[in-house]
């Protein structure tokens, strides 16, 4: 004979000690997020910046990648495994790293667009497509980091559960029965939001709620659309 506990619906919310439904993991204090997924992606972005041809980077070409690397090392030392330590200096360091990456990639995008419009790209179509792809991928990474750093005050603030009003509405927040009870957004979720916004040129499954989130997604879509359209048009022209 099946007991009450065995016949209970698996989607029934977990109960707190006093018998009321426990708050969703993304609303309550949890363990800090792992550091290394973001570190790996940041290293990939820095590598892509260093691989761009000299005519498509801001000079001195080592300056911004060097600033990004130095800030990344400092942030790793402060939080080597999980993001648990909060300090205004660390917060500024994280935002400064993303800002440096954004400036470097925006500069490369502007230089690429300028040469595309004036016909100064030269070289084979494969080189042009490679540079455009590197800028496009770095754009996805940079905006993914912005979403991750700014949503509800950043990863440390989210882990502490200090802010209840989210800037991005993930599907798991509206349908908690489709995710594990301890689900909360992590860096890879924000990177996916950035990827879908850069490829679909609009939000897909995750909706921006705050004005800054909407403006960031608007700007990312505009940059991605312009880069793709001009690079492909020029590459086709070269191939002809």
pLDDT at position 121, please? Answer: 63
Question: 18 lies in a domain?
Answer: no
Q: Who's near 110: CB < 8 A, 6+ residues apart?
A: none
**Structure confidence by residue, pLDDT tens digits, 45-66:** 999 999 999 989 999 999 999 9
Question: 20 lies in a domain?
Answer: no
Quick one: which H or E segment has residue 14? none
Question: 13 lies in a domain?
Answer: no
Question: 7 lies in a domain?
Answer: no
Question: Mean per-residue pLDDT for 60-87?
Answer: 94
Q: Which domain holds residue 54?
A: 30-239
Distance of alpha carbon 202 from alpha carbon 221, whole angstroms: 7
Query: What's the number of domains the chain is made of?
Result: 1
Question: 3 lies in a domain?
Answer: no
Question: 86 lies in a domain?
Answer: yes
Q: Who's near 87: CB < 8 A, 6+ residues apart?
A: 78
- Give the model's confidence band at 147: pLDDT under 50 very low, under 70 low, under 90 confident, else very high: very high
Q: Who's near 231: CB < 8 A, 6+ residues apart?
A: 112, 116, 128, 129, 132
Question: 9 lies in a domain?
Answer: no
Distance of alpha carbon 214 from alpha carbon 224, whole angstroms: 15
């Amino acid at each position: 004979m099946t007991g009450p506990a065995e016949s209970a619906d698996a989607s029934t919310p977990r109960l707190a000690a006093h018998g009321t439904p426990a708050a969703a993991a993304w609303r309550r204090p949890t363990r800090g997020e792992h550091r290394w997924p973001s570190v790996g992606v940041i290293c990939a972005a820095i590598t892509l910046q260093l691989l761009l041809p000299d005519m498509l980077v801001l000079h001195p070409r080592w300056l911004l990648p060097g600033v990004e690397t130095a800030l990344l090392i400092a942030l790793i030392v402060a939080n080597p495994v999980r993001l648990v330590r909060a300090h205004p200096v660390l917060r500024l360091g994280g935002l400064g790293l993303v800002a440096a990456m954004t400036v470097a990639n925006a500069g490369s995008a502007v230089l690429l667009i300028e040469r595309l419009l004036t016909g100064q790209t030269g070289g084979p179509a494969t080189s042009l497509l490679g540079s455009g792809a590197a800028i496009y991928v770095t754009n996805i990474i940079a905006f993914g980091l912005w979403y991750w750093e700014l949503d509800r005050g950043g990863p440390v603030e989210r882990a502490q559960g200090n802010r209840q009003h989210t800037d991005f509405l993930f599907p798991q927040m509206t349908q908690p029965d489709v995710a594990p009870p301890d689900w909360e957004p992590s860096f890879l979720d924000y990177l996916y939001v950035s990827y879908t916004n850069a490829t679909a040129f609009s939000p897909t499954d995750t909706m921006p709620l705050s004005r800054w989130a909407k403006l960031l997604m608007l700007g990312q879509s505009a940059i991605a659309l312009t880069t793709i359209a001009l690079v492909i048009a020029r590459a086709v022209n070269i191939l002809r």
